[in-house]
Amino acid sequence: MNKKLNLFCISSIIVGTLIYTFQYFDIQLPKIINNYVNDFLIIPIVLFTCLLFLRWSRNDKKFVLSLLVILYVCFMYSILFEFVFPKYLARYTADFIDVILYFISGYLFYKLQNNKN
């Protein structure tokens, strides 16, 4: 597996967990970190988990997620977390910047996954 992809996704999990831990204990973070970093990190975390599972289940260490699958996941996250959930759950707020971050991080995942270095 691509070392850069592994490093990026594992560090995303660590950073995301730290941010959630700080939020849980009401430790103040800069607004940009508090509001946007986890939205940027969630797509690579989800896609990396799916990729690991699919590689394991197919017994194919070279399996990669297609661009269409990555775009689909970004689109579904955008619809669910920025349009559907905010209407019914007070915890969620609609923010177009989050949609942009989902697609940027999906593109980054795609490029890292297909990087041959």
* Number of compact structural domains in the chain: 1
Domain range for 8 is 3-113
DSSP string across 76-98: HHHHIIIIIHHHH-TT----HHH
How many angstroms separate the most distant Cα atoms in the chain? 45
Residue partners of 4: CB distance under 8 A and separation at least 6: 112, 115, 117
Do 43 and 106 form a contact (C-beta atoms < 8 A)? yes
pLDDT at 103 over 70: yes
**Which pLDDT tens digit goes with each residue over 39-95?**
999 999 999 999 999 999 999 999 999 999 999 999 999 999 999 999 999 989 999
Q: 40 is written with which tokens?
A: 């940027």
**Which pLDDT tens digit goes with each residue over 15-43?**
999 999 999 999 999 999 999 999 999 99
**Which pLDDT tens digit goes with each residue over 71-86?**
999 999 999 999 999 9
Do 93 and 84 form a contact (C-beta atoms < 8 A)? no
pLDDT at 115: 84
For residues 102 and 2, which has the higher predicted lDDT (pLDDT)? 102
pLDDT band (50, 70, 90) for residue 110: very high
pLDDT at 2: 85
